[in-house]
Structure 1
Amino acid sequence: MIKTAPITIGGGKLTLQEVVLVARHGYEIELDASVKAKVTKSRQYVEKLLAEKKVVYGLTTGFGKFSDTYISSEDAKMLQVNLIRSHACGIGDPFPAEVARAIMLLRINALIQGYSGIRYSVVETMVEMLNKGVVPLIPEKGSLGASGDLAPLSHLALVMMGEGEALFRGEKLDGKTAMDKAGIVPVSLEAKEGLALINGTQVMTAVGALACWDALQLAKWADCAAALTTETLQGVRQAFDPETHDIRPHAGQQQVASNIRKLTQDSRLMTNQGELRVQDAYSLRCVPQVHGASADALQYIHDKLLIEMNSVTDNPLIFTEQEKVISGGNFHGQPIALAMDFLSIAVAELANISERRIERLVNPQLSGGLPPFLTKYGGTNSGFMIAQYAAASLVSENKSLAHPASVDSIPSSANQEDHVSMGTIGARKAAKIVENAYNVVAIELLCGSQAADYRGADGLGKGTAWVYAECRKQVPFLDEDRVMYTDFRKAVHMMKDEAVLKDMTETLGL
């Protein structure tokens, strides 16, 4: 990887793209010069409270139901260590390394705002871990998403203490060995610091941020696939004329209609109203309305994630200027839980309508003269028959996964924490739906490209010709049956390739 300048955090708003660069592409970070004074001032106020033996939740008390139990200053350090060890109750496979890196980045971004009472040196340790490639192994399951992501974040804190498990340069190691090999000194937690490390929404937000970024790119490909399919089915172009969309001015609907017009510009395959038919099926004619609704949802989700990524979500919060410590509920994941359920539904619908377009391409009763299942040798060859099965399977799975997690709540901590968000479950489900949807749209792109070869690819519009050419760089025409799952993988890889996405933006203006 080419060495890049580090991303500075703490001086402004962290963006979704910056999260992706750090999480997936190994970008290092540095802290803005203003950060140290804010963090240090907050810590000094915590130490003042400790010296005065004030009764403050999380500093000199237990946690949850034990919030009324006083802890002496002598036991404060043990309290923090016990907190991390007892709360590291994660279950299941670990999150991918990119998610763990995103979690660390977002936790750092919350702590450096100066409301958490943590020592600056502890933040520096996490920065060093991120920059040197120590990746905590954080189990996916075990968070209720209400007192923050307590269980998964405890697995991050364990490695900081030289415990738990981590990856370093691709090797799975115990936390102490990983830190030693990276040349990082583990931390010895002081009062408040264990709680500051684990009380927050960074796990659900990290998973959600990466899934939302992928969904935003997928939405562009869904428009490309829809345009290609509409052309090869000789769709009616007037459905995308601006007049219709100007009198129902949802931003997403207008944008998608504009995208379809750009993509099909100068097409000789599109037809006029009444030429072959008066109107198309909904999966073609209503693309602006359906894709557009998902586009609007994705914009809402993006905006909510930006707020959360740049917020302080632990407890209690230290307000040094007002000399206050407030025990509130910023750790509650409901804002992200609802957004993640919305993400699930919005992306599931992109896949849902895509599968219906696939069906029209492969079904000879609906395709307007294309060969059955897009193969010349039907009978001895199945063509894209089972590709549609696979898409239908993923769409059906998405319907189950899209059931909202946020409507569930189970009381915890002896009913002290009696309403929880399940936001992390929602985020994990949304990420699965996004991955499934990529594969469905990939299948549509390949079906559309196959149909274009039969119709005459030289008749495609300016934009769809680019889409077709990119698909054909990856996957050749299906003349006779071959193993197809590798074709799907190649198409998905193309859709996620940053160079291709950059070219899409520059060439098509999407």
Structure 2
Amino acid sequence: MNTNTFHLGADHLTAGICLELVRGQRPMTIDATTRQKVRESSATVQRIVNKGEPVYGINTGFGPLCTTKISKEETRILQSNILQSHSVGVGEPIATEIAKIMLVLKVHSLAQGFSGIKEETLDRILWHLETDAIPVVPSQGSVGASGDLAPLSHLFLPLIGLGKVVFQGKTITTQSLFEQTGKDPLELGPKEGLALINGTQFIAAHAVKVIEKFHNVLTHADLVGSMMIEGLQGSIKPFHPALHAQRPFKGNVHVAERINHFLKGSEILEDHADCERVQDPYSLRCIPQVHGSSRNAWLHLKELVEVELNSVTDNPLVIDDKLTISGGSFHGQPLAMALDYAALAASEIGNISDRRIYLALEGNSPGVPKLLMEDTGINSGYMILQYTSAALASENKTSAFPASADSIPTSLGQEDHVSMGSISGRKALRIIDNVEKILAIELLTAAQAFEFRKPMKSGPVLEAIHATVRKVVPFAAVDRVFHDDIEKAIAIIHEKELLKVVREVRDTAKLNTDTQYQTLFETY
């Protein structure tokens, strides 16, 4: 538990801090200085309304209706109407945690004092987080420009007493929530509805989850790939620092150093140090280049997301009484392209993992039987597990086409170029889920190949990793229902069990596993 209170609208937010806030691992508040900025911004909007000078979204219609003047009396009705008319999402609801991330990101953006939001409105959003009454948000319907209009509209329908929420484990209407908690709907002030639904928080929330889950995939890929190198008696030379010093991409250097640490002290490596094989197949030899490139993509996404999390992305921005700017900070392109890049990079981790699985089944490594089982014919061994990894890898490839390459004009041509970043985010998470499954299958096959190297031992890290796998998945001498093994392996990766083992071994054996780019690639 991080006891340092995070000050929304004032402190610097990262993906990791955001996840701590959402999971109740760190307290958050809006401090007095920030509240004063919020009040001043809201007062500025009210003065604009009183003057009657046309300012987009405050006293005009939206999109192609930007030239339609709205009377002072109707400005409040306008803000309620926009939430209702823009709530057009379809599809399955997004995960509750992603909806919670959206709420945190929106408060952090609005509290910076450039959106004209009322203090009362921000406090109600915080109440939803504190009460754990999280709005139900459909997953489809955003084109990722003019903000994530549809999902954000659904996210904030409960403010005006509409929509649904997940509360105490059940999905209920907001009306029912208010009856149970004694709350009443809010009356939104001028510009508030637009401020709430304009912005990139749907895309950014997905990006926060992509950063976490993709990092987990990358970390496990290095571990599982190292075990496969041992199981198939691969060479350690392709990971030599002298090689990577001549082509020092940050991700490549980091991966090579990690694998060197994992293989350190291995009897298996010593056993074939003078063998006649001079080169391994690319899926082993080029792990630093492939895994490293995907790490570079992760780093790129992390850097861009951090900028976005601390930005104001609604429209227009209220700078002061004399300057209100209608621009395009709601456009999701910066994250859309980076998420598409990350999706491709994640897909490639699954692609090379599937190749290593196939390699393990060929029976070309001394001492390792074909299909990873000695008594085949009556037994199929691990043959069909690779069918599943191939299917998952192929599915990922078909999903890797960049959503941001497309744009369909909306709003009668007023919004004639959009990012489709919401699709980029959803797609990236889907691909990463599939890669977790592929790596789980590689973990099983690597552990099986590793077994045939006994009684020789690997280094302390990989020995501990293998022992951890064997606690839940035994060696397979004959066929069994491998689906059960796969599910257990997926759980190991999903729950980060192996990473805990690595930390324990490092601390116990006093191993120095810090690499040149440790901080860069291990923190978010």
Q: Of 439, 454, 457, which residue of structure 2 is paired with 1:459? A: 457
Alignment of structure 1 residues 83-482 onto 2, 5 Å: 83-270=82-269, 275-320=275-320, 323-364=322-363, 366-456=364-454, 458-482=456-480
Residues 95 and 137, structure 1, Cα contact 8 Å, conserved in 2:
yes
CA shift for structure 1 position 478: 2.1
Normalised to the residue count of structure 2, the TM-score between the two structures is 0.93
- Distance in 2 (CA, whole Å) between partners of 1:416 and 1:473 is 60
Deviation per CA, 1:311-344, whole angstroms, max 9, x where unpaired? 1000000112x73100000000000000110110
Cα 1:457/1:215, change in 2 over 3 Å: farther
Shift of 1:178: 2.2
Distance (Å, rounded) in 1 between the aligned partners of 2:455 and 2:152: 52
Q: What secondary structure sits across from 2:83 in the alignment?
A: helix
Distance across 2 between alignment mates of 1:177 and 1:498: 38
2:166 counterpart letter in structure 1: L
Q: CA deviation at 1:14?
A: 1.1
Deviation at 1:42, TM superposition (A): 0.6
Task: State the alpha-carbon separation in 1 of the partners of residues 381 and 90 from structure 2.
Answer: 42
Matched to 2:371, the amino acid is F
2:47 paired residue number? 48
- Aligned counterparts of 1:412 and 1:357: Cα–Cα separation in 2: 45
Alignment of 1:17 with 2:16, yes or no, is yes
Contact map agreement 1:6 1:28 (CA 8 A) in 2: yes
Alignment-mate amino acid for residue 495 of structure 2: D
Tell me: CA distance 1:457–1:435, structure 2 relative to 1, closer, same or farther (3 Å). Answer: farther
Residue 276 of structure 1: CA displacement? 3.7
Task: Tell me which moved more, 446-455 or 60-69.
Answer: 446-455
Q: How far did residue 273 of structure 1 move?
A: 6.3
**Structure-2 change in CA distance of 1:89 and 1:96 (3 Å):** same
SS at match of 2:405: coil
Partner of 2:377: helix, strand, or coil? Answer: coil
Match of 1:68, SS? coil
Q: Once structures 1 and 2 are overlaid, which stretch shifts more, 156-165 or 263-272?
A: 263-272
Measured after TM superposition, the shift of residue 380 of structure 1 is 2.3
Q: Check 1:413–1:247 CA distance in 2 against 1; reply closer, same or farther (3 A cut).
A: same
Whether the 8 Å CA contact 1:23–1:101 is kept in 2: the answer is yes
1:470 Cα offset (Å): 2.3
For each residue in 1:57-90, what CA deviation from the matched residue of structure 2 results, as whole angstroms up to 9, or x when unmatched?
0000000000010000111111111111110000
CA distance in 2, matches of 1:507, 1:106: 37
Could you tell me how far apart the structure 1 residues matched to 2:466 and 2:222 are? 13
8 Å Cα contact 2:216-2:496 kept in structure 1: no
Query: How far apart, CA to CA, are the structure 2 residues paired with 1:115 and 1:357?
Result: 52
> Is 1:487 equivalent to 2:481 in the alignment?
no
Provide closer, same or farther for how the CA distance between residues 405 and 47 of structure 1 changes in structure 2, counting only shifts above 3 A.
Answer: same
Q: Matched residues in 2 for 1:104 and 1:285: separation?
A: 45
Task: Name the SS of the counterpart of 2:411 in structure 1.
Answer: coil
Give the Å deviation of 1:349. 0.7
Deviations, residues 328-378 of structure 1 (Å, cap 9, x unaligned): 0000000000011011011111111011001111122x3333122212331
Could you tell me how far 1:442 is from its partner in structure 2? 1.2
1:10-65 Cα deviation digits (max 9, x unpaired)? 33211211222234567653223432011111111111111111210000000000
The amino acid of 1:294's aligned partner reads S
Please name the residue that 2:517 is paired with.
none
| Alpha-carbon contact 2:149-2:197 (below 8 Å) kept | yes
Sort the Cα spacing of 1:173 and 1:205 in 2 relative to 1 into closer, same or farther, 3 A.
same
Alpha-carbon distance, 1:5 to partner: 7.2
**Residues 280, 183 of structure 1: CA spacing in aligned structure 2 closer, same or farther, 3 A cutoff?**
farther
**Aligned 8 A contact 2:231 2:451 in 1:** no
Contact 2:464 2:501 in 1 (8 A): no
Q: Do the aligned partners of residues 101 and 496 (structure 1) sit closer, same or farther apart at CA in structure 2, a change above 3 Å counting?
A: same
- The alignment partner of 2:313 has SS state of coil
Q: Distance in 2 between matches of 1:184 and 1:113?
A: 26
CA contact (8 A) 2:59 2:75 kept: yes
The one-letter amino acid of 2:299's match is Q
1:427, 1:135 → 2: CA distance?
A: 20
Structure 1 residue 485, shift from structure 2 partner: 2.4
| 1:257-314 deviation digits (Å, cap 9, x = unpaired) | 0001000001122266651401111111111111111111111111111111111000
- Give the whole-Å Cα distance in 1 for the aligned partners of 2:288 and 2:142: 37
Cα deviation, 1:382-403, whole Å, max 9, x if unaligned, reads 2221111111111000001110
Question: Could you tell me whether the CA contact under 8 Å between 1:164 and 1:174 is conserved in 2?
Answer: yes
SS in 2 for 1:431: helix
- Paired residue secondary structure (1:414): helix
Letter in 2 for 1:51: N
**2-structure distance, mates of 1:506, 1:118:** 48
Distance 2:303 2:468 in 1: 31
> Contact 1:167/1:178 (CA < 8 Å) preserved in 2?
no
SS of residue matched to 2:452: helix
Equivalent-residue separation in structure 2 for 1:59 and 1:326 (angstroms)? 12
8 Å Cα contact 2:436-2:494 kept in structure 1: no
The separation in 2 between residues aligned to 1:301 and 1:398, in whole angstroms, is 19
Unaligned runs of 5+ in 1: none
Q: Structure 1 82/452 Cα, relative in aligned 2: closer, same or farther at 3 Å?
A: same
Q: TM-score, normalised by structure 1?
A: 0.95
Shift of 1:381: 2.1
- Could you tell me whether the CA contact under 8 Å between 2:13 and 2:309 is conserved in 1? yes
Q: Residue 437 and residue 456 in structure 1: after superposition, are their counterparts in 2 closer, same or farther (change >3 A)?
A: same
Q: CA-atom RMSD, angstroms?
A: 1.9
Tell me the percent identity: 40
